[in-house]
Amino acid sequence: MSNVIKRLLGEGPYPFPISSDEFSKHLDIFYNDNFSILITKKPIATQRVTETHAHDSYEFTIPLSHNPLLTVDKKSVTVEVNKMIACNPGQLHGPGREMYDTTLMALQVEKGFMQEICRAIFGKNEIFFENEPVDISSNLRGQIRLYMEEARNKQIGYEFILETLEMQIVLMILRETISNISSKKTVKNAGKNNINRAIDFMKDNYNKKYSFEEIAEVANMSPYHFIRVFKKATGKRPHEFFTDIKVKKAAELLKNTSYSVTEICFLCGFNNHSYFSKIFKKFKGLTPSEYRKCFGFSLDERRVYQSRMT
């Protein structure tokens, strides 16, 4: 057994008579440092195992045939085929009765990895899932299949794809399960609030220089996840949205102040005049000077406007 699988699964005893050295003979195993998927290669037929086991990882069990009776902390739960039940780190669990021709899939998530994602989304890292079966969405099924394909084929760069997929799988689990800090509603609201916080930050700092890693940190998200969620929420990538904020501010200054075009360029955080003109025309269809002629106040009107604003 690899060190990763041993760390995720613990020392046993396991719910069927397999020693740690024989796992690969009886299970298909797909894994990375923080995550694994295990599927029984052939149906399990075993008498009830009286000893339960526990480990430090989160486990999500999915029956693929029959409806096994499982126990979690001495509670018996029948899990229907293609539904999923969560088991938290340290919870004793195992089969509740004999198994006949049962095939199972188990997703194992390293505790620290789950907590890191929860901290980024909810600002809390201690999460405890309810031990109740839940439906699995087609999206989650699809991500699981993609993960297994990448882990099996091992094409160039597969490690990076696995890291992305395991994060997406965990996020979908958070959406589709109920815990002390998450549900479908709270995940949606948390994501919305994080994006709004990032937008407010960009509006307040439109004339400053900072990286999008810093904006992602404001939103409590990884840069990759932030870009994907931000585009889904706004229809634009973060840099497009930020540039739009700067151009709108520049247009406001062109219309209502007596600042020169060059002054407005730097007031709005653009690097140089020619770049400012190019970007402004791309967004507005006119150069800054043309825009001021068409929509701006007269010089005297702008001066009066400024005097009222100061």
**Together in a domain, 38 and 154:** yes
Domain end position, chosen among 150, 176, 202 = 176
Query: Which residues have CB under 8 Å from 98's CB, separation 6+?
Result: 46, 47, 48
The token duo for 84 is: 């999923």
Q: Which domain holds residue 248?
A: 240-309
Using CA atoms, how far residue 271 sits from 107, 208, 262, 266, in Å, is: 49, 11, 10, 7
**Together in a domain, 95 and 28:** yes
Are 36 and 4 a contacting pair, CB within 8 Å? Answer: yes
**Together in a domain, 208 and 253:** no
**Together in a domain, 56 and 148:** yes
Query: Can you give the pTM of this predicted structure?
Result: 0.57
Q: Whose structure tokens read 């050295």?
A: 21
**Together in a domain, 39 and 102:** yes
Using CA atoms, how far residue 147 sits from 21, 103, 215, in Å, is: 24, 19, 29
Q: Residue 110 has what pLDDT?
A: 92
Write the CATH number for 32. Answer: 2.60.120.10
Supply angle C-alpha 8, 12, 13, rounded to 5: 155
Per-residue pLDDT of the chain (310 residues; tens, 9 = 90+): 456 555 556 555 555 545 555 556 677 888 888 899 988 877 665 555 556 778 889 999 998 887 777 888 878 888 888 889 999 999 988 887 776 677 889 999 999 999 999 888 888 888 999 898 888 888 899 999 999 999 999 999 999 999 999 999 999 999 888 888 876 556 556 667 788 888 999 998 888 887 878 888 888 777 777 888 888 888 888 989 999 999 999 999 998 888 899 999 999 999 888 999 999 999 989 999 989 888 766 555 555 555 655 5
- The CA distance from 74 to 248, in Å, is 61
Supply angle C-alpha 116, 161, 202, rounded to 5: 55
**Together in a domain, 139 and 20:** yes
Q: Residue 40 has what pLDDT?
A: 83
**Together in a domain, 171 and 215:** no
**Together in a domain, 23 and 161:** yes
Strands 58-63 and 44-46: unpaired
Report H helices in the chain.
3-9, 23-26, 111-122, 138-153, 158-176, 184-204, 212-218, 223-234, 238-256, 261-267, 273-284, 288-295, 299-309
Write the CATH number for 247. Answer: 1.10.10.60
**Together in a domain, 231 and 244:** no
Contacts for 61-65: CB closer than 8 Å, 24+ residues apart: 61/85, 61/87, 61/104, 61/105, 61/106, 62/104, 62/105, 62/106, 62/107, 62/136, 63/102, 63/103, 63/104, 64/39, 64/40, 64/103, 64/104, 64/105, 65/101, 65/102, 65/103
- The CA distance from 35 to 21, in Å, is 20
**Together in a domain, 118 and 166:** yes
Q: Read off the amino acid at residue 196.
A: N
**Together in a domain, 154 and 277:** no
User: Per the structure, how many domains does the chain have?
Assistant: 3
**Together in a domain, 191 and 44:** no
